Amino acid sequence: MIKKVKFLAAIAGFTMAMSGAVAQAEDMTFWRIGTGGAGGTYFPIGGLISNAISSPPGARSCDKGGTCGVPGLVAIAVSTNASVANANAIHAGQLDAGLAGAQTVVQSYNGEGKFVGNKKDKIRVIANLYPEDMHLVLAEGTSLNSLKDLNGMDIGVAAAGSGTQVSVRMILQHYGIKANENELNLGQSTQRLADGQLDAFFYAGGTPFAALIQLGSTKGFSLYKFSADEIKTINKIIPYYVESNIPAGTYENITTDTPTVAVNGQFITSVDQPEELVYGVTKALWSKKTRSLLDKGHSKGKAIQLETALKGVLIPLHPGAERFYKEIGMID
């Protein structure tokens, strides 16, 4: 009889434990954040943001040294083809949030550029993040006097579905450049440049690129310095791109400053996402704990600052994000 009672008690305890586990699982919300290729900046930054805003069931609370994320939220950084692909997937409900360049964000919302007749008006902004510098990477020993020297060369124009590709093709068309264009992500571009299959490639993102750090330590490369006239012209063609600079030493093998153009990267979601959830995500994004993660996790993380969270935001904020910024007095 005693053995039978102990067995029944064990069964009851196991059932209660399983019930608790099921309840915890039911309280868990998975949130997919679209980023970019693994060799770029969106993916590691997306990973940092995912860690910062997550707080799985059973995790230590913020005040006890644990995560300061949204209770029950498990955010996951998903590698994608970047901006355009993220905007499309968020609007379709295939991703919950993502990173995208300001040009893509505005054009997708308004149905302009690549989105003519295909407006993504569910897109909303959570925060502006950091400037993304345009890199025109040249094979070691290759030099250009101007962008027009790209005529006839084998060049990478970034991945299909990326905001970089949209911008690059606008630049090439304006200058009448006829090159052998290759649709490649960052990893593919660096590999083909190293193998001698490309003369140059374009890629925009937050510095430094891990793929370029590796390339610099093996085969080497150089960066094209955009002229003042080219920067001014690109700004007219694509107003979202403004004058910028990749400082000397950003890549160990590049010892001089590189004048270029840059567009802001932004954190976006869908208006269909619950207000309370996005409010919690926004609050977690700007917590002191997240500040520490961003500062230590990636060199571009330091550029993600609350003071510039609304810089260059030209479409509506998500109501949850707007509520947070109103609470702290950043907007009326």
Mean pLDDT for the stretch of residues 51-75:
93
Lowest mean pLDDT among 16-25, 68-77, 141-150, 234-243: 16-25
Choose the final residue of a domain: 233, 264, 295. 264
Model confidence band, residue 327 (pLDDT cutoffs 50, 70, 90): very high
Give the pLDDT band of residue 204 (cuts 50, 70, 90): very high
For tokens 């002229």, name the residue: 227
309 pLDDT higher than 70: yes
The share of the chain scoring above pLDDT 90, in percent, equals: 84
Residues 6+ apart with CB under 8 A from 265: 41, 42, 45, 99, 100, 101, 102, 128, 129, 130, 131, 132, 205, 206
Domain boundary among 264, 284, 306: 264
**161-199 confidence digits (pLDDT tens):** 888 999 999 999 999 999 999 999 999 999 999 999 999
Backbone angles phi, psi at 106, to 5 degrees: -70, -45
Q: Which residues contact 200 (CB under 8 A, 6 or more apart)?
A: 136, 137, 138, 139, 142, 144, 150, 153, 155, 156, 193, 224
34: CATH: 3.40.190.10
Whether residue 33 lies inside any domain: the answer is yes
Q: Which residue has the tokens 């430094």?
A: 208
Is residue 303 a contact partner of residue 247, using CB atoms and an 8 Å limit? no
| pLDDT of amino acid 74 | 98
Q: Which of 194, 142, 143, 137 has its CA nearest to residue 164? A: 137
pLDDT(6) > 60: no
Is 197 among the domain residues? Answer: yes
Q: Are residues 36 and 74 in the same domain?
A: yes
* One domain, residues 246 and 273: no
C-alpha dist (Å) from residue 298 to 115, 151, 161, 187, 265? 32, 36, 25, 19, 15
Report the candidate in 234, 152, 163 with the shortest Cα–Cα distance to residue 200: 152
Residues 208 and 156 in one domain: yes
Strand partners, 221: 139
Same domain, residue pair 140 and 118 = no
Does 126 lie in the same domain as 7? Answer: yes
Sorting pLDDT into bands at 50, 70 and 90, what band is 7?
A: very low
Confidence check: pLDDT of 130 > 50? yes
The whole domain housing 164 covers: 132-264
Residue owning tokens 């997306």: 46
Q: Do 259 and 283 have their domain in common?
A: no
Count: domains in the chain: 2
**pLDDT tens digits, 236-292:** 999 889 899 999 999 999 999 999 999 999 999 999 999 999 999 999 999 999 999
| Bridge partner list, 248 | none
Encoded amino acid at 150, one letter: L
Claim to verify: residue 207 and residue 64 sit in the same structural domain: no
* pLDDT value, residue 230: 98
pLDDT surpassing 80 at residue 306:
yes
Phi, psi of 211 (to 5 degrees): -65, -35
Reported as a single tens digit per residue, the pLDDT across 70-115 is: 999 999 999 999 999 999 999 999 999 999 999 999 999 999 988 9
The count of C-alpha atoms lying within 13 angstroms of the C-alpha of 25, restricted to the half-sphere facing its C-beta, is: 6
7-21: average pLDDT: 43
Residue 332 lies in a domain: no
Q: Are residues 32 and 113 in the same domain?
A: yes
The CA distance from 291 to 284, in Å, is: 10
Q: Looking at the predicted structure, is the pLDDT value of residue 17 above 50?
A: no
Do 141 and 256 share a domain, yes or no? yes
Question: Is the CB of residue 90 less than 8 Å from the CB of residue 96?
Answer: yes
Query: How many Cβ atoms sit within 10 Å of the Cβ of residue 91?
Result: 22
pTM, full prediction:
0.83
Cα 71 from Cα 59, distance rounded (Å): 9
The rounded Cα 48 to chain-centroid distance in angstroms is 11
Tokens of 89: 């997937």
Domain stop point among 235, 264, 293? 264
* 3-state class percentages of the chain: helix first, strand second, coil last, to nearest 5: 45, 20, 35
